[in-house]
Chains A and B, each alone.
Chain A
């Protein structure tokens, strides 16, 4: 979305027009969904969190300051949602699968792979996605979230340093090392590295 279109959509939504909100959903829905999916590993959770974020958008758009960039503001809300969801999951006892003789489905990759039974060409994409999820899961959580916010939220390093309250150089070092580790982990899974 061009900056002028974004400004118009925000102004329209603030003025009380549903079209403004719909334009924002059209522009950011896919990226937000991707961020939630890669953060939680579950389509169901990703959709639920996208819906929750949109409710917050309707309630909080008035508090958005036009002088700042919209994307970091939006993805900061998304990051808070992910943080809250993870805390809730950690605080609650693990779910036990009734269909697998009590085996606990514990990893994000397993959850993702178990959710759907794809057919044909989708299978390879699903496998690659599951491999990526497995590799992401092995990263240190903060590094993983920085990589995801950098990609889906298109945040600058300065914006991420402000969000996480750590030095600029530290953010870049974490992202760089995280990306290299991700490639290495995926290579290991492929057996090519």
Chain B
């Protein structure tokens, strides 16, 4: 028996977990689909070769380490910018201003715009995480002939990312 589009929709909603009273033909089609999915699923499954898993993991961790390194670099840049901003504020506050009124404080807006610098502790923690990750990357790799090909490719990827960041900045 051929089912209508509306009946297919009801079956789909039922199979997605919605509570519906299916008609006998609808229920038969739903059961048939479940049976076919189970049969086909057993054939579709494949094993992930261990060496492929190792290489995939290494690519992922390299990307992760690259991102951490860039974060660390930006933290350093931000810290330097904050220090420079603080120095400007100090210089401005020490400059002699016009005699009337209170000029010992810089404008509030200037203070509000100063970015908060990461503490040395935060920078050290990030740096330690990157070093730990690099150590794990080294221990996670299985040396193979493809390494010589993969390494420069992924350094290229990381360098391209950095170039993009610079261009955006």
Chain A residues with a Cβ under 8 A of chain B: 16, 18, 21-22, 25, 29-30, 33-34, 37-38, 43, 46-47, 50-51, 54-55, 57-59, 128-129, 132, 147-148, 150-152, 156-158, 161, 167-173, 175-176, 179-180, 182-183, 186
CB pair B40 A183 closer than 8 Å: yes
Given A25-B57, A43-B52, A169-B8, 18 other A-B residues pairs in contact with their CB atoms under 8 A: A22-B61, A25-B60, A29-B48, A33-B56, A34-B44, A37-B46, A38-B44, A38-B46, A47-B56, A54-B57, A148-B44, A157-B13, A157-B15, A169-B7, A169-B11, A171-B12, A173-B3, A183-B40
Band of interface residues on B: 35 or more
Cβ-based interface call for B129 (8 A):
yes
Are A30 and B36 also in contact (CB < 8 A) when A128-B43, A156-B16, A170-B8 are?
A: no
Q: What number of A-B contacts does a CB cutoff of 8 Å give?
A: 128
Q: Which residues 2-56 of B sit at the A interface, judged by CB distance below 8 A?
A: 3, 5-9, 11-13, 15-17, 29, 32-33, 36-37, 39-41, 43-49, 52-53, 55-56
Report the stretch among B63-71, B89-97, B102-110 that lies at the interface.
B63-71
Chain B residues with a Cβ under 8 A of chain A: 3, 5-9, 11-13, 15-17, 29, 32-33, 36-37, 39-41, 43-49, 52-53, 55-57, 59-61, 63-64, 67-68, 129, 133, 136, 157
CB pair B52 A168 closer than 8 Å: no
Provide the bound-state CA to CA distance between A161 and B5, in Å: 14
A-B contact list, 26 entries, CB within 8 Å: A18-B136, A21-B64, A22-B61, A29-B48, A29-B53, A29-B56, A34-B44, A34-B48, A37-B46, A51-B56, A51-B60, A54-B59, A58-B64, A59-B63, A129-B43, A156-B17, A157-B13, A161-B12, A167-B5, A168-B12, A169-B12, A172-B11, A173-B5, A176-B36, A179-B33, A180-B36
CB pair B60 A179 closer than 8 Å: no
Chain A residues near B67 (CB-CB < 8 A): 58-59
